[in-house]
């Protein structure tokens, strides 16, 4: 219904520029944009309602924290572009599609949270001295690391859906390893600690750990991913997400290989995956 209204009034997939301007209209609309991007993530051939692009941001501001439910703006735009490009069989694999995929890969590779030049959240997590730096720049540790996790998620999606690489490929194994290593920097007490809103947890954390779970192979990886999925909350939607992942793992174990596209498999078993 919402998509029909958008198309009737603005045309097919109008451009929307993510911005760091905070006002009621912008926040509510970027919430819709974020929800739509996450919705399109789990559907085969499902494109976003808007073509998501980045606006020019004020220097020193990372707009991903508040405006986009904990997802960095560049990463959110990249996920939207991955979803849309993967849905276009007429472009994917052609010179134009290859060029677009390369640009997405370059953007994700160069992305850094705007804290201090040359420092990523995963790098900052490694020493006690650096933890003090987090306080100096007023960026809570958990939030910083989760921004980095979402960047790893976008890279996994890129390898899965644009480059058609399987979960045993070196590129995806490297992304999952980095994801799990970075996640270790998040304190155990990640709920109701003043740093995360319930909306943040239900959106980006559920999305991040679900995508990571699609690549989990070893018992240790699966236990870790399932624990984090269940930690998102007791609501039915989160339990259904965990059930969908367990069904995917069961399929992998019974056939000896993962489905060519986990989204197709989830559609076949009529799994209802929701992040928000």
Number of Cβ within a 10 Å radius of residue 65: 21
Return the higher-pLDDT residue of 137 and 73.
73
Segment 201-232, tens digit of pLDDT: 566 889 999 999 999 999 999 999 999 999 88
CA pair distance 79, 162, nearest whole angstrom:
11
Structure tokens at 165: 């690489």
Q: Is the pLDDT confidence value at 144 over 90?
A: no
- pLDDT reading at 249 higher than 70: yes
- Both structure tokens of 71: 């997802």
- Which residue did the predictor score with more confidence, 156 or 16? 156
Q: What is the C-alpha to C-alpha distance for residues 30 and 19, in angstroms, rounded to an integer?
A: 9
User: For position 121, what pLDDT does the model report?
Assistant: 46
The size of the chain, in residues, is: 276
- What is the maximum alpha-carbon separation in the chain? 55
- Residue with more model confidence, 60 or 238: 238
pLDDT for position 223: 97
Give the Cα separation of 65 and 72 in Å (integer). Answer: 6
> 231: Cβ–Cβ under 8 A, 6 or more apart, which residues?
190, 191
Taking residues 153-164, what's their average pLDDT?
Answer: 95
Identify the residue with better confidence: 189 or 129.
189
Burial 140-159 (b: 16+ CB within 10 A, else e): ebbbbbbbbbbbbbbbbbbb
Question: What is the predicted pLDDT for the residue at 62?
Answer: 46
CA-to-CA dists, residue 87 to 37, 40, 97, angstroms = 13, 10, 11
As a whole number of angstroms, the distance between CA 118 and CA 113 comes to 9
CA distance 97 to 161: 12
> What is the per-residue pLDDT for 167?
94
Q: How far apart are the first and last CA of the chain?
A: 18
Q: Where do the domains of the chain lie?
A: 2-268
Query: Is the pLDDT score of 160 beyond 70?
Result: yes
Question: If pLDDT is split at 50, 70 and 90, which confidence band does 25 have?
Answer: low
What is the per-residue pLDDT across 37-73, written as a single tens digit (0 to 9) for each? Answer: 998 999 888 899 888 887 765 444 444 444 466 788 8
Mean pLDDT, rounded, of the chain: 79
**At residue 118, does pLDDT exceed 80?**
no
Name the H helices within the chain.
Answer: 2-10, 24-41, 73-86, 95-110, 121-124, 128-136, 141-157, 170-183, 198-200, 206-213, 219-230, 236-255, 262-268
Which of 13-27, 29-43, 144-158 shows the lowest per-residue confidence on average (mean pLDDT)? 13-27
Q: What is the pLDDT of residue 72?
A: 83
Give the pTM: 0.82
Strand pairing report for 15-18 and 51-54: parallel
Q: For a pLDDT cut of 90, what percent of the chain falls above it?
A: 43
Q: Which residue has better confidence, 182 or 17? A: 182
Q: 69 with 200: CB under 8 angstroms?
A: yes
* Higher pLDDT, residue 181 or 64: 181
The pLDDT score that the predictor gives to residue 267 is: 93
Q: What is residue 193's predicted lDDT score, i.e. its pLDDT?
A: 41
């Amino acid at each position: 219904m919402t998509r029909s209204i958008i198309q009737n009034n603005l045309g097919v997939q109008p451009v929307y520029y993510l911005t760091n301007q905070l006002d009621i209209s912008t926040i509510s609309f970027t919430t819709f944009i974020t929800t739509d991007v996450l919705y399109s993530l789990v559907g085969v051939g499902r494109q976003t309602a808007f073509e998501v692009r980045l606006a020019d941001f004020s220097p020193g501001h990372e707009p991903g924290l508040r405006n986009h439910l904990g997802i960095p703006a560049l990463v959110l735009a990249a996920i939207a572009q991955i979803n849309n490009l993967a849905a276009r069989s007429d472009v994917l694999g052609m010179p134009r599609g290859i060029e677009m995929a390369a640009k997405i890969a370059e953007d994700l590779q160069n992305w850094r949270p705007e804290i201090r030049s040359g420092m990523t959240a995963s790098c900052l997590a490694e020493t006690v001295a650096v933890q003090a730096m987090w306080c100096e720049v007023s960026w809570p540790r958990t939030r910083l690391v989760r921004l980095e996790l979402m960047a790893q998620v976008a890279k996994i999606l890129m390898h899965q859906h644009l480059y058609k690489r399987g979960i045993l490929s070196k590129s995806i194994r490297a992304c999952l390893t980095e994801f799990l290593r970075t996640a270790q920097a998040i304190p155990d007490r990640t709920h109701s600690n003043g740093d995360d809103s319930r909306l943040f947890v239900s959106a980006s954390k559920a999305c991040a750990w679900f995508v990571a779970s699609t690549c989990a192979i070893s018992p240790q990886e699966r236990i870790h991913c399932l624990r984090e999925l269940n930690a998102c909350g007791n609501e039915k939607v989160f339990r259904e997400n965990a059930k969908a992942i367990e069904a995917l793992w069961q399929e992998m174990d019974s056939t000896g290989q993962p489905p060519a596209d986990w989204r197709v498999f989830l559609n076949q078993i009529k799994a209802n995956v929701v992040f928000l």
